[in-house]
Amino acid sequence: MLSTYGHPQYAYVPPAELRAGATRRYAVVVVGAGPVGLAAAIDLAQRGTPVLLLDDDDTVSVGSRGICYAKRALEVLDRLGVGDGCVAKGVSWNVGRTFFRDDEVYNFQLLSQPDHKRPGMINLQQYYLEEFLVKRAQELPLVDLRWKNRVVAVCQSDDRVTLQVETPDGVYALETDWLIAADGARSSLRRMLNLEVEGKVFMDRFLIADVVMKADFPAERWFWFDPPFHRGQSVLLHRQPDNVWRIDFQLGWQADPEEEKKPEHVIPRIKAMLGDDRQFDLEWVSVYTFQCRRMRDFRHRRVLFVGDAAHQVSPFGARGANSGIQDADNLIWKLKLVLDGTAPETLLDSYAEERELAADENLMNSTRSTEFITPGSSASLTFRNAVLSLAGRYPFARALVNSGRLSVPSVLEGSSLNTPDSECFRGEMIPGAPMDDAPLREAGHELWLLDAVRDRFMLLCYVDTPAAVDATTLAALAPLGAAPVAVEVVLVAARDGVAPGGLRVLEDSAGRYAERYDARNGTAYLVRPDQHVSARWRTIDSERVLAALARAIGRV
Protein backbone atom coordinates (compact mmCIF):
# COMPACT_ATOMS: atom_id res chain seq x y z
CA MET A 1 0.00 0.00 0.00
CA LEU A 2 1.11 3.56 -0.68
CA SER A 3 1.16 6.16 2.07
CA THR A 4 0.06 9.01 -0.23
CA TYR A 5 -2.65 7.27 -2.26
CA GLY A 6 -5.54 4.94 -1.55
CA HIS A 7 -6.40 2.74 -4.50
CA PRO A 8 -10.11 2.71 -5.37
CA GLN A 9 -11.76 -0.68 -5.77
CA TYR A 10 -14.32 -0.72 -8.54
CA ALA A 11 -17.34 -2.96 -8.29
CA TYR A 12 -17.63 -6.13 -10.33
CA VAL A 13 -21.10 -6.47 -11.87
CA PRO A 14 -22.22 -9.82 -13.35
CA PRO A 15 -22.44 -9.31 -17.15
CA ALA A 16 -25.79 -9.37 -18.86
CA GLU A 17 -24.60 -12.19 -21.12
CA LEU A 18 -24.24 -14.52 -18.12
CA ARG A 19 -27.69 -13.68 -16.86
CA ALA A 20 -29.31 -14.07 -20.28
CA GLY A 21 -27.20 -16.98 -21.46
CA ALA A 22 -26.90 -15.41 -24.91
CA THR A 23 -24.04 -14.07 -27.05
CA ARG A 24 -24.35 -10.36 -27.77
CA ARG A 25 -22.63 -8.40 -30.52
CA TYR A 26 -21.03 -5.00 -30.02
CA ALA A 27 -19.76 -2.45 -32.50
CA VAL A 28 -16.48 -1.95 -30.60
CA VAL A 29 -14.84 -3.77 -27.70
CA VAL A 30 -11.74 -2.35 -26.01
CA VAL A 31 -9.59 -4.66 -23.89
CA GLY A 32 -7.49 -2.97 -21.21
CA ALA A 33 -8.54 -0.08 -18.95
CA GLY A 34 -5.15 1.58 -18.73
CA PRO A 35 -4.66 5.15 -19.97
CA VAL A 36 -4.78 4.16 -23.65
CA GLY A 37 -7.79 1.87 -23.49
CA LEU A 38 -9.72 4.37 -21.39
CA ALA A 39 -8.84 7.17 -23.81
CA ALA A 40 -10.09 5.09 -26.76
CA ALA A 41 -13.36 4.19 -25.02
CA ILE A 42 -14.06 7.77 -23.91
CA ASP A 43 -13.34 9.14 -27.38
CA LEU A 44 -15.71 6.64 -28.98
CA ALA A 45 -18.48 7.44 -26.51
CA GLN A 46 -18.06 11.19 -26.96
CA ARG A 47 -18.51 10.63 -30.70
CA GLY A 48 -21.78 8.79 -30.07
CA THR A 49 -20.61 5.16 -30.40
CA PRO A 50 -21.43 2.63 -27.65
CA VAL A 51 -18.31 0.80 -26.49
CA LEU A 52 -17.62 -2.15 -24.20
CA LEU A 53 -14.42 -1.82 -22.13
CA LEU A 54 -13.06 -4.96 -20.42
CA ASP A 55 -10.36 -5.12 -17.74
CA ASP A 56 -9.15 -8.09 -15.72
CA ASP A 57 -8.49 -6.01 -12.58
CA ASP A 58 -10.71 -3.88 -10.33
CA THR A 59 -8.49 -0.89 -9.63
CA VAL A 60 -6.00 1.48 -11.22
CA SER A 61 -2.29 0.78 -11.68
CA VAL A 62 -0.15 -0.05 -8.68
CA GLY A 63 2.93 2.13 -8.24
CA SER A 64 3.49 5.42 -10.01
CA ARG A 65 4.72 3.74 -13.25
CA GLY A 66 4.48 6.31 -16.06
CA ILE A 67 4.68 9.87 -14.74
CA CYS A 68 5.53 12.27 -17.59
CA TYR A 69 2.78 13.56 -19.88
CA ALA A 70 3.76 15.87 -22.70
CA LYS A 71 1.95 18.88 -24.10
CA ARG A 72 0.42 16.96 -27.01
CA ALA A 73 -1.00 14.25 -24.74
CA LEU A 74 -2.44 16.98 -22.50
CA GLU A 75 -4.18 18.51 -25.52
CA VAL A 76 -5.77 15.13 -26.26
CA LEU A 77 -6.78 14.76 -22.62
CA ASP A 78 -8.41 18.19 -22.85
CA ARG A 79 -10.73 16.85 -25.53
CA LEU A 80 -11.50 13.81 -23.39
CA GLY A 81 -12.56 16.03 -20.50
CA VAL A 82 -9.74 15.35 -18.02
CA GLY A 83 -7.00 17.81 -19.02
CA ASP A 84 -7.83 20.42 -16.39
CA GLY A 85 -7.82 17.85 -13.59
CA CYS A 86 -4.49 16.39 -14.70
CA VAL A 87 -2.76 19.76 -14.92
CA ALA A 88 -4.23 20.94 -11.60
CA LYS A 89 -2.97 17.83 -9.80
CA GLY A 90 0.26 17.40 -11.74
CA VAL A 91 3.60 19.17 -11.46
CA SER A 92 4.16 21.34 -14.54
CA TRP A 93 7.69 21.78 -15.83
CA ASN A 94 9.57 23.02 -18.88
CA VAL A 95 13.25 22.94 -17.85
CA GLY A 96 15.62 19.97 -17.91
CA ARG A 97 19.18 19.98 -16.60
CA THR A 98 21.99 17.51 -17.30
CA PHE A 99 25.00 17.09 -15.02
CA PHE A 100 28.32 15.34 -15.55
CA ARG A 101 29.94 14.42 -12.27
CA ASP A 102 29.77 17.68 -10.26
CA ASP A 103 28.93 20.14 -13.04
CA GLU A 104 25.85 21.16 -15.03
CA VAL A 105 26.78 20.79 -18.70
CA TYR A 106 23.48 21.25 -20.52
CA ASN A 107 19.94 22.52 -20.01
CA PHE A 108 16.90 22.88 -22.22
CA GLN A 109 13.48 24.52 -22.38
CA LEU A 110 10.65 22.32 -23.60
CA LEU A 111 8.42 25.26 -24.48
CA SER A 112 10.34 28.29 -25.64
CA GLN A 113 7.38 30.05 -27.29
CA PRO A 114 4.88 32.10 -25.28
CA ASP A 115 1.10 31.81 -25.51
CA HIS A 116 0.36 28.11 -25.24
CA LYS A 117 -2.42 26.74 -23.04
CA ARG A 118 -0.48 23.74 -21.76
CA PRO A 119 3.06 23.39 -20.37
CA GLY A 120 5.71 21.34 -22.09
CA MET A 121 5.27 18.50 -19.60
CA ILE A 122 3.56 17.56 -16.37
CA ASN A 123 4.54 14.88 -13.87
CA LEU A 124 1.59 12.90 -12.56
CA GLN A 125 1.49 9.39 -11.17
CA GLN A 126 -0.25 7.04 -13.60
CA TYR A 127 -2.83 5.98 -11.03
CA TYR A 128 -4.15 9.55 -10.88
CA LEU A 129 -4.47 9.75 -14.65
CA GLU A 130 -6.30 6.42 -14.73
CA GLU A 131 -8.60 7.48 -11.89
CA PHE A 132 -9.52 10.70 -13.72
CA LEU A 133 -10.19 8.73 -16.91
CA VAL A 134 -12.28 6.11 -15.12
CA LYS A 135 -14.40 8.84 -13.55
CA ARG A 136 -14.90 10.42 -16.97
CA ALA A 137 -15.82 7.05 -18.51
CA GLN A 138 -18.37 6.46 -15.76
CA GLU A 139 -20.01 9.77 -16.64
CA LEU A 140 -20.67 8.57 -20.20
CA PRO A 141 -23.69 6.27 -20.60
CA LEU A 142 -22.27 4.84 -23.85
CA VAL A 143 -19.27 3.31 -22.01
CA ASP A 144 -19.92 -0.13 -20.49
CA LEU A 145 -16.86 -0.57 -18.25
CA ARG A 146 -16.56 -4.09 -16.83
CA TRP A 147 -14.07 -4.94 -14.10
CA LYS A 148 -12.84 -8.48 -13.42
CA ASN A 149 -13.59 -9.49 -17.01
CA ARG A 150 -10.57 -11.30 -18.45
CA VAL A 151 -10.40 -12.30 -22.12
CA VAL A 152 -9.24 -15.92 -22.33
CA ALA A 153 -9.78 -16.66 -26.03
CA VAL A 154 -10.13 -14.69 -29.25
CA CYS A 155 -10.76 -15.60 -32.86
CA GLN A 156 -11.83 -13.59 -35.87
CA SER A 157 -13.57 -14.08 -39.17
CA ASP A 158 -14.15 -11.76 -42.10
CA ASP A 159 -16.93 -9.81 -40.40
CA ARG A 160 -16.48 -10.20 -36.64
CA VAL A 161 -14.25 -11.02 -33.68
CA THR A 162 -15.44 -13.54 -31.08
CA LEU A 163 -14.20 -13.40 -27.49
CA GLN A 164 -14.44 -15.73 -24.51
CA VAL A 165 -14.44 -13.72 -21.28
CA GLU A 166 -13.81 -15.12 -17.80
CA THR A 167 -15.48 -13.56 -14.74
CA PRO A 168 -15.88 -14.53 -11.05
CA ASP A 169 -19.26 -16.01 -12.06
CA GLY A 170 -18.14 -17.98 -15.08
CA VAL A 171 -17.22 -17.62 -18.76
CA TYR A 172 -19.32 -15.95 -21.44
CA ALA A 173 -18.95 -15.24 -25.15
CA LEU A 174 -19.42 -12.03 -27.07
CA GLU A 175 -18.90 -10.77 -30.60
CA THR A 176 -17.70 -7.43 -31.91
CA ASP A 177 -17.26 -5.73 -35.23
CA TRP A 178 -13.93 -4.24 -34.13
CA LEU A 179 -11.59 -5.12 -31.28
CA ILE A 180 -9.10 -2.60 -29.86
CA ALA A 181 -6.23 -4.31 -28.05
CA ALA A 182 -4.94 -1.99 -25.31
CA ASP A 183 -3.84 -4.70 -22.89
CA GLY A 184 -0.25 -3.59 -22.40
CA ALA A 185 3.27 -4.79 -23.08
CA ARG A 186 2.46 -8.37 -22.07
CA SER A 187 -0.65 -8.35 -24.27
CA SER A 188 -2.56 -11.62 -23.92
CA LEU A 189 -4.52 -10.77 -27.08
CA ARG A 190 -1.29 -10.55 -29.04
CA ARG A 191 -0.22 -13.92 -27.67
CA MET A 192 -3.60 -15.56 -28.42
CA LEU A 193 -3.35 -14.39 -32.04
CA ASN A 194 0.25 -15.72 -32.28
CA LEU A 195 1.67 -12.29 -33.04
CA GLU A 196 5.12 -11.07 -32.09
CA VAL A 197 6.97 -7.87 -31.28
CA GLU A 198 10.36 -7.28 -32.86
CA GLY A 199 13.25 -5.13 -31.74
CA LYS A 200 15.97 -4.81 -29.12
CA VAL A 201 16.17 -5.58 -25.40
CA PHE A 202 18.84 -3.53 -23.59
CA MET A 203 21.18 -5.28 -21.20
CA ASP A 204 20.90 -2.93 -18.25
CA ARG A 205 18.79 -2.50 -15.15
CA PHE A 206 17.43 0.56 -13.38
CA LEU A 207 16.02 0.94 -9.90
CA ILE A 208 12.93 3.11 -9.46
CA ALA A 209 12.60 4.56 -5.97
CA ASP A 210 9.61 6.79 -5.26
CA VAL A 211 10.28 8.60 -1.99
CA VAL A 212 8.12 10.93 0.07
CA MET A 213 10.03 13.96 1.27
CA LYS A 214 9.77 17.71 1.61
CA ALA A 215 12.34 19.41 -0.60
CA ASP A 216 12.63 22.83 -2.20
CA PHE A 217 14.18 21.54 -5.43
CA PRO A 218 12.61 23.28 -8.44
CA ALA A 219 10.09 21.50 -10.65
CA GLU A 220 12.67 20.48 -13.25
CA ARG A 221 14.08 17.28 -14.72
CA TRP A 222 17.57 16.58 -13.37
CA PHE A 223 19.77 13.92 -14.95
CA TRP A 224 23.28 13.01 -13.75
CA PHE A 225 25.99 11.09 -15.57
CA ASP A 226 28.62 9.60 -13.24
CA PRO A 227 27.63 11.68 -10.18
CA PRO A 228 29.80 11.56 -7.04
CA PHE A 229 26.99 9.79 -5.14
CA HIS A 230 26.60 6.98 -7.74
CA ARG A 231 29.91 6.62 -9.54
CA GLY A 232 30.04 5.16 -13.02
CA GLN A 233 26.27 5.15 -13.47
CA SER A 234 23.43 7.59 -14.11
CA VAL A 235 20.60 8.99 -11.98
CA LEU A 236 17.34 10.76 -12.84
CA LEU A 237 15.20 12.91 -10.49
CA HIS A 238 11.60 14.05 -11.03
CA ARG A 239 9.17 15.77 -8.69
CA GLN A 240 5.64 14.39 -8.50
CA PRO A 241 2.49 15.48 -6.63
CA ASP A 242 2.02 14.71 -2.91
CA ASN A 243 5.71 15.40 -2.10
CA VAL A 244 6.66 12.23 -3.96
CA TRP A 245 9.97 12.25 -5.81
CA ARG A 246 10.94 9.73 -8.47
CA ILE A 247 14.61 8.69 -8.45
CA ASP A 248 15.98 6.29 -11.09
CA PHE A 249 19.35 4.68 -10.36
CA GLN A 250 21.22 2.85 -13.11
CA LEU A 251 22.39 -0.51 -11.71
CA GLY A 252 24.06 -2.40 -14.54
CA TRP A 253 23.06 -5.73 -16.03
CA GLN A 254 24.70 -7.86 -13.35
CA ALA A 255 22.60 -6.43 -10.52
CA ASP A 256 20.26 -8.84 -8.75
CA PRO A 257 16.75 -7.31 -9.07
CA GLU A 258 15.36 -8.89 -5.91
CA GLU A 259 18.34 -7.87 -3.79
CA GLU A 260 18.38 -4.32 -5.14
CA LYS A 261 14.72 -3.77 -4.17
CA LYS A 262 15.40 -4.49 -0.50
CA PRO A 263 15.33 -1.38 1.74
CA GLU A 264 18.81 -2.12 3.11
CA HIS A 265 20.17 -1.60 -0.41
CA VAL A 266 17.85 1.18 -1.57
CA ILE A 267 18.10 3.51 1.43
CA PRO A 268 21.92 3.88 1.36
CA ARG A 269 21.76 4.86 -2.31
CA ILE A 270 19.21 7.57 -1.57
CA LYS A 271 21.13 8.86 1.45
CA ALA A 272 24.30 9.08 -0.63
CA MET A 273 22.38 11.28 -3.05
CA LEU A 274 20.36 13.43 -0.63
CA GLY A 275 22.57 13.44 2.46
CA ASP A 276 22.06 11.83 5.82
CA ASP A 277 20.04 14.77 7.17
CA ARG A 278 17.28 14.57 4.57
CA GLN A 279 14.21 12.82 5.96
CA PHE A 280 12.33 10.60 3.51
CA ASP A 281 10.13 7.52 3.36
CA LEU A 282 10.14 4.87 0.66
CA GLU A 283 6.85 4.88 -1.23
CA TRP A 284 7.45 2.37 -4.02
CA VAL A 285 10.44 0.43 -5.33
CA SER A 286 10.90 -1.54 -8.52
CA VAL A 287 13.69 -2.74 -10.81
CA TYR A 288 13.17 -2.69 -14.54
CA THR A 289 14.88 -3.52 -17.79
CA PHE A 290 13.76 -1.90 -21.02
CA GLN A 291 13.32 -2.59 -24.66
CA CYS A 292 12.65 -0.88 -27.96
CA ARG A 293 10.29 -3.14 -29.91
CA ARG A 294 7.10 -3.04 -31.92
CA MET A 295 4.68 -5.25 -33.78
CA ARG A 296 5.26 -5.36 -37.50
CA ASP A 297 1.60 -4.47 -38.18
CA PHE A 298 -0.70 -2.57 -35.83
CA ARG A 299 -3.83 -3.71 -37.69
CA HIS A 300 -4.67 -7.39 -38.00
CA ARG A 301 -7.93 -7.56 -39.90
CA ARG A 302 -10.52 -6.55 -37.27
CA VAL A 303 -8.10 -6.28 -34.34
CA LEU A 304 -6.36 -2.94 -33.85
CA PHE A 305 -3.40 -2.73 -31.47
CA VAL A 306 -2.65 0.46 -29.53
CA GLY A 307 -0.19 1.60 -26.87
CA ASP A 308 2.23 -0.82 -25.24
CA ALA A 309 0.41 -3.75 -26.81
CA ALA A 310 1.72 -2.47 -30.17
CA HIS A 311 5.06 -0.95 -29.21
CA GLN A 312 7.40 -0.63 -26.25
CA VAL A 313 10.16 1.92 -25.72
CA SER A 314 12.66 2.64 -22.97
CA PRO A 315 11.44 5.17 -20.37
CA PHE A 316 14.00 7.79 -21.39
CA GLY A 317 12.03 10.46 -23.21
CA ALA A 318 8.54 9.70 -21.83
CA ARG A 319 7.44 8.13 -25.10
CA GLY A 320 5.32 5.26 -23.78
CA ALA A 321 1.97 6.56 -22.53
CA ASN A 322 2.30 9.74 -24.61
CA SER A 323 2.56 7.81 -27.87
CA GLY A 324 -0.18 5.41 -26.77
CA ILE A 325 -2.62 8.24 -26.12
CA GLN A 326 -1.80 9.57 -29.59
CA ASP A 327 -2.45 6.10 -31.03
CA ALA A 328 -6.00 6.23 -29.68
CA ASP A 329 -6.41 9.81 -30.87
CA ASN A 330 -5.38 8.80 -34.39
CA LEU A 331 -7.53 5.67 -34.51
CA ILE A 332 -10.88 6.60 -33.05
CA TRP A 333 -12.05 9.29 -35.48
CA LYS A 334 -11.23 6.98 -38.36
CA LEU A 335 -13.03 4.04 -36.77
CA LYS A 336 -16.08 6.25 -36.18
CA LEU A 337 -16.24 7.19 -39.88
CA VAL A 338 -15.96 3.51 -40.86
CA LEU A 339 -18.70 2.52 -38.42
CA ASP A 340 -20.95 5.25 -39.82
CA GLY A 341 -20.33 4.10 -43.40
CA THR A 342 -18.80 7.48 -44.29
CA ALA A 343 -15.34 6.06 -44.99
CA PRO A 344 -14.15 2.72 -46.37
CA GLU A 345 -12.58 0.14 -44.05
CA THR A 346 -9.25 0.80 -45.75
CA LEU A 347 -9.12 4.10 -43.84
CA LEU A 348 -8.06 1.98 -40.85
CA ASP A 349 -4.94 1.01 -42.78
CA SER A 350 -3.90 4.65 -42.45
CA TYR A 351 -3.98 4.23 -38.65
CA ALA A 352 -1.37 1.52 -38.99
CA GLU A 353 0.57 3.51 -41.60
CA GLU A 354 0.74 6.70 -39.53
CA ARG A 355 1.25 5.22 -36.08
CA GLU A 356 3.82 2.67 -37.24
CA LEU A 357 5.77 5.63 -38.63
CA ALA A 358 5.41 7.40 -35.28
CA ALA A 359 6.50 4.25 -33.43
CA ASP A 360 9.60 3.95 -35.60
CA GLU A 361 10.46 7.56 -34.82
CA ASN A 362 9.98 6.95 -31.10
CA LEU A 363 12.02 3.74 -31.22
CA MET A 364 14.84 5.49 -33.05
CA ASN A 365 14.99 8.35 -30.55
CA SER A 366 14.58 6.08 -27.57
CA THR A 367 17.32 3.72 -28.81
CA ARG A 368 19.73 6.61 -29.35
CA SER A 369 19.02 7.95 -25.86
CA THR A 370 19.48 4.55 -24.28
CA GLU A 371 22.75 3.90 -26.11
CA PHE A 372 24.08 7.27 -24.89
CA ILE A 373 22.98 6.64 -21.31
CA THR A 374 24.14 3.00 -21.23
CA PRO A 375 27.13 2.73 -23.62
CA GLY A 376 27.66 -0.80 -24.87
CA SER A 377 31.45 -0.64 -25.20
CA SER A 378 34.47 1.13 -23.73
CA ALA A 379 34.85 3.15 -26.95
CA SER A 380 31.22 4.34 -26.68
CA LEU A 381 31.76 5.25 -23.04
CA THR A 382 34.90 7.23 -23.89
CA PHE A 383 33.04 9.11 -26.64
CA ARG A 384 30.10 9.87 -24.36
CA ASN A 385 32.26 11.17 -21.54
CA ALA A 386 34.22 13.33 -23.99
CA VAL A 387 30.96 14.85 -25.23
CA LEU A 388 29.85 15.56 -21.66
CA SER A 389 33.21 17.07 -20.75
CA LEU A 390 33.05 19.45 -23.72
CA ALA A 391 29.36 20.32 -23.41
CA GLY A 392 29.85 22.80 -20.59
CA ARG A 393 32.02 25.00 -22.83
CA TYR A 394 31.15 24.29 -26.48
CA PRO A 395 27.69 24.52 -28.10
CA PHE A 396 28.46 21.84 -30.72
CA ALA A 397 28.93 19.26 -27.93
CA ARG A 398 25.67 20.23 -26.19
CA ALA A 399 23.78 19.17 -29.29
CA LEU A 400 25.21 15.65 -28.85
CA VAL A 401 24.18 15.26 -25.19
CA ASN A 402 21.32 12.78 -25.00
CA SER A 403 19.80 12.06 -21.60
CA GLY A 404 16.49 11.27 -23.27
CA ARG A 405 15.05 13.19 -26.23
CA LEU A 406 11.66 14.01 -24.78
CA SER A 407 8.38 13.06 -26.39
CA VAL A 408 7.12 15.28 -29.18
CA PRO A 409 4.28 14.45 -31.59
CA SER A 410 5.22 12.95 -34.93
CA VAL A 411 4.83 15.01 -38.07
CA LEU A 412 2.94 12.70 -40.46
CA GLU A 413 4.49 14.34 -43.48
CA GLY A 414 4.31 11.32 -45.78
CA SER A 415 0.77 10.25 -44.90
CA SER A 416 -1.47 9.12 -47.74
CA LEU A 417 -4.25 11.25 -46.20
CA ASN A 418 -2.40 14.54 -46.76
CA THR A 419 -2.91 16.88 -49.70
CA PRO A 420 0.55 18.23 -50.58
CA ASP A 421 1.16 21.97 -50.77
CA SER A 422 0.73 23.60 -54.17
CA GLU A 423 1.76 27.07 -52.93
CA CYS A 424 4.58 28.48 -50.83
CA PHE A 425 4.33 28.61 -47.03
CA ARG A 426 6.77 29.29 -44.23
CA GLY A 427 6.86 27.63 -40.84
CA GLU A 428 6.14 24.20 -39.41
CA MET A 429 2.40 23.79 -40.07
CA ILE A 430 2.90 21.57 -43.10
CA PRO A 431 0.33 18.91 -44.10
CA GLY A 432 0.69 16.13 -41.53
CA ALA A 433 1.88 18.40 -38.71
CA PRO A 434 0.07 18.49 -35.36
CA MET A 435 -1.50 21.89 -34.89
CA ASP A 436 0.19 24.58 -32.83
CA ASP A 437 -2.03 26.26 -30.27
CA ALA A 438 -2.69 30.01 -30.24
CA PRO A 439 -4.69 32.44 -28.08
CA LEU A 440 -7.86 33.81 -29.71
CA ARG A 441 -10.99 35.74 -28.80
CA GLU A 442 -14.59 34.96 -29.66
CA ALA A 443 -17.38 37.47 -28.98
CA GLY A 444 -15.09 39.23 -26.52
CA HIS A 445 -14.13 36.06 -24.61
CA GLU A 446 -10.66 34.52 -24.61
CA LEU A 447 -10.20 30.94 -25.79
CA TRP A 448 -7.54 28.70 -27.30
CA LEU A 449 -7.36 27.56 -30.91
CA LEU A 450 -7.25 23.86 -30.07
CA ASP A 451 -10.25 24.18 -27.76
CA ALA A 452 -12.13 25.83 -30.64
CA VAL A 453 -11.18 23.08 -33.10
CA ARG A 454 -11.92 20.22 -30.69
CA ASP A 455 -12.44 16.90 -32.55
CA ARG A 456 -13.92 17.50 -35.98
CA PHE A 457 -12.95 18.52 -39.48
CA MET A 458 -12.64 22.29 -39.72
CA LEU A 459 -11.73 24.75 -42.45
CA LEU A 460 -9.95 27.73 -40.91
CA CYS A 461 -10.07 30.76 -43.22
CA TYR A 462 -7.90 33.74 -42.34
CA VAL A 463 -9.18 37.23 -43.21
CA ASP A 464 -8.14 40.76 -42.34
CA THR A 465 -11.66 41.60 -41.20
CA PRO A 466 -14.86 39.48 -41.23
CA ALA A 467 -16.91 42.26 -42.79
CA ALA A 468 -14.70 42.12 -45.89
CA VAL A 469 -15.82 38.58 -46.74
CA ASP A 470 -17.70 38.99 -50.01
CA ALA A 471 -20.38 37.09 -51.86
CA THR A 472 -17.79 35.38 -54.05
CA THR A 473 -16.10 33.87 -51.00
CA LEU A 474 -19.43 32.72 -49.55
CA ALA A 475 -20.32 31.14 -52.88
CA ALA A 476 -17.00 29.29 -52.88
CA LEU A 477 -17.82 27.87 -49.45
CA ALA A 478 -21.39 26.81 -50.27
CA PRO A 479 -20.54 23.43 -51.90
CA LEU A 480 -18.93 22.29 -48.62
CA GLY A 481 -22.45 21.72 -47.29
CA ALA A 482 -22.58 18.64 -49.53
CA ALA A 483 -19.17 17.30 -48.41
CA PRO A 484 -18.92 13.55 -47.68
CA VAL A 485 -18.13 14.38 -44.05
CA ALA A 486 -19.22 17.38 -41.98
CA VAL A 487 -16.73 20.24 -42.01
CA GLU A 488 -17.17 23.44 -40.03
CA VAL A 489 -16.04 26.66 -41.71
CA VAL A 490 -14.59 29.23 -39.29
CA LEU A 491 -13.07 32.63 -39.94
CA VAL A 492 -9.90 33.61 -38.11
CA ALA A 493 -9.67 37.40 -38.36
CA ALA A 494 -7.00 39.94 -37.58
CA ARG A 495 -9.78 42.21 -36.28
CA ASP A 496 -13.09 41.38 -34.68
CA GLY A 497 -16.36 41.89 -36.48
CA VAL A 498 -19.55 40.28 -37.73
CA ALA A 499 -19.24 37.93 -40.69
CA PRO A 500 -21.88 37.54 -43.40
CA GLY A 501 -23.70 34.24 -43.61
CA GLY A 502 -23.54 33.67 -39.85
CA LEU A 503 -19.99 32.28 -40.00
CA ARG A 504 -18.19 31.80 -36.70
CA VAL A 505 -15.40 34.35 -36.11
CA LEU A 506 -12.27 33.87 -34.01
CA GLU A 507 -10.21 37.01 -33.47
CA ASP A 508 -6.43 36.61 -33.67
CA SER A 509 -5.95 39.43 -31.19
CA ALA A 510 -2.33 38.58 -30.32
CA GLY A 511 -1.34 37.74 -33.90
CA ARG A 512 -0.07 34.30 -32.87
CA TYR A 513 -2.23 32.40 -35.33
CA ALA A 514 -1.02 34.51 -38.27
CA GLU A 515 2.57 34.04 -37.06
CA ARG A 516 2.44 30.28 -36.48
CA TYR A 517 0.36 29.44 -39.55
CA ASP A 518 1.96 31.93 -41.96
CA ALA A 519 -1.53 33.25 -42.57
CA ARG A 520 -2.48 36.22 -44.70
CA ASN A 521 -5.79 37.34 -46.13
CA GLY A 522 -7.39 34.35 -47.87
CA THR A 523 -5.20 31.60 -46.37
CA ALA A 524 -7.17 28.46 -45.53
CA TYR A 525 -6.25 25.37 -43.49
CA LEU A 526 -8.17 22.10 -43.49
CA VAL A 527 -7.58 20.30 -40.17
CA ARG A 528 -8.46 16.75 -39.14
CA PRO A 529 -10.40 15.59 -36.07
CA ASP A 530 -7.10 14.66 -34.39
CA GLN A 531 -5.88 18.24 -34.92
CA HIS A 532 -3.35 17.52 -37.63
CA VAL A 533 -3.09 19.71 -40.71
CA SER A 534 -4.62 17.97 -43.71
CA ALA A 535 -4.17 20.64 -46.41
CA ARG A 536 -3.65 24.38 -46.85
CA TRP A 537 -4.10 26.96 -49.59
CA ARG A 538 -3.62 30.66 -50.19
CA THR A 539 -7.14 31.06 -51.58
CA ILE A 540 -10.39 29.20 -50.93
CA ASP A 541 -11.53 26.87 -53.68
CA SER A 542 -14.37 24.46 -52.86
CA GLU A 543 -13.24 21.86 -55.41
CA ARG A 544 -9.79 21.66 -53.84
CA VAL A 545 -11.27 21.49 -50.33
CA LEU A 546 -13.69 18.71 -51.31
CA ALA A 547 -10.87 16.76 -52.95
CA ALA A 548 -8.72 17.15 -49.84
CA LEU A 549 -11.61 15.99 -47.64
CA ALA A 550 -12.12 12.90 -49.79
CA ARG A 551 -8.41 12.14 -49.53
CA ALA A 552 -8.41 12.68 -45.74
CA ILE A 553 -11.12 10.06 -45.22
CA GLY A 554 -9.55 7.49 -47.52
CA ARG A 555 -11.84 7.88 -50.50
CA VAL A 556 -8.95 8.59 -52.86
Question: pLDDT tens digits for 102-125?
Answer: 999 999 999 878 999 999 999 999
pLDDT of residue 513: 98
Does residue 15 register a pLDDT over 80?
Answer: yes
> Is the backbone of residue 223 left (phi > 0), alpha (psi -120 to 50) or beta?
beta
37 vs 31: CA distance, rounded Å? 7
Does residue 537 register a pLDDT over 90?
Answer: yes
Does residue 474 register a pLDDT over 90?
Answer: no
507 vs 494: CA distance, rounded Å? 6
pLDDT of residue 408: 87
> Which one-letter amino acid corresponds to residue 383?
F
pLDDT in tens, 204-223: 999 999 999 999 999 999 99
pLDDT of residue 243: 96
CB 434 within 8 A of CB 451: no
pLDDT band at 406 (very low <50, low <70, confident <90, very high): confident
pLDDT band at 442 (very low <50, low <70, confident <90, very high): very high
pLDDT of residue 113: 85
More confident call, 64 vs 411 = 411
> Which one-letter amino acid corresponds to residue 232?
G
pLDDT of residue 319: 83
Share of the chain above pLDDT 70, in %: 100
pLDDT of residue 473: 81
In the chain, the largest separation of any two C-alpha atoms, in whole Å, equals 78
Query: What value does the mean pLDDT take over residues 4-14?
Result: 97
Rounded to the nearest angstrom, the gap between the alpha carbon of residue 13 and the centroid of all alpha carbons in its chain is 31
pLDDT of residue 394: 94
Does residue 317 register a pLDDT over 80?
Answer: no
pLDDT in tens, 374-402: 998 999 999 999 999 999 999 999 999 99
Per-residue b/e over 59-78, b at no fewer than 16 CB within 10 Å?
bbbebbbbbbbbbbbbbbbb
pLDDT of residue 370: 87
pLDDT of residue 41: 98
CB 508 within 8 A of CB 493: yes
- Does the pTM of the predicted model rise above 0.75? yes
pLDDT band at 479 (very low <50, low <70, confident <90, very high): confident
396 vs 180: CA distance, rounded Å? 45
pLDDT in tens, 484-517: 999 999 999 999 888 888 899 999 999 999 999 9
Query: What value does the mean pLDDT take over residues 320-334?
Result: 96
CA distances from 55 to 30, 173, 178 (A): 9, 15, 17
Query: What value does the mean pLDDT take over residues 342-371?
Result: 94
pLDDT of residue 273: 97
To 10 degrees, what angle do helices 126-139 and 35-46 make? 20
Q: Is the dihedral of CA 31, 36, 40, 42 positive or negative?
A: positive
How many C-beta neighbours within 10 Å does residue 426 have? 8
Does residue 253 register a pLDDT over 80?
Answer: yes
Name the strand (E) or helix (H) holding 97.
Answer: strand 95-100
pLDDT of residue 499: 85
272 vs 79: CA distance, rounded Å? 44
Does residue 329 register a pLDDT over 90?
Answer: yes
The three-class DSSP label of residue 457 is strand
Beta bridge partners of 54: 31, 146
534 vs 548: CA distance, rounded Å? 7
395 vs 400: CA distance, rounded Å? 9
pLDDT of residue 472: 76
Query: What value does the mean pLDDT take over residues 422-440?
Result: 97
pLDDT band at 289 (very low <50, low <70, confident <90, very high): confident
Q: What are the residues whose beta carbons fall under 8 Å from the beta carbon of 393, sequence distance 6 or more?
A: none
Query: What value does the mean pLDDT take over residues 529-545?
Result: 96
pLDDT of residue 189: 98
Share of the chain above pLDDT 90, in %: 85
C-alpha triplet 9, 15, 16: angle, nearest 5°: 145
Does residue 24 register a pLDDT over 80?
Answer: yes
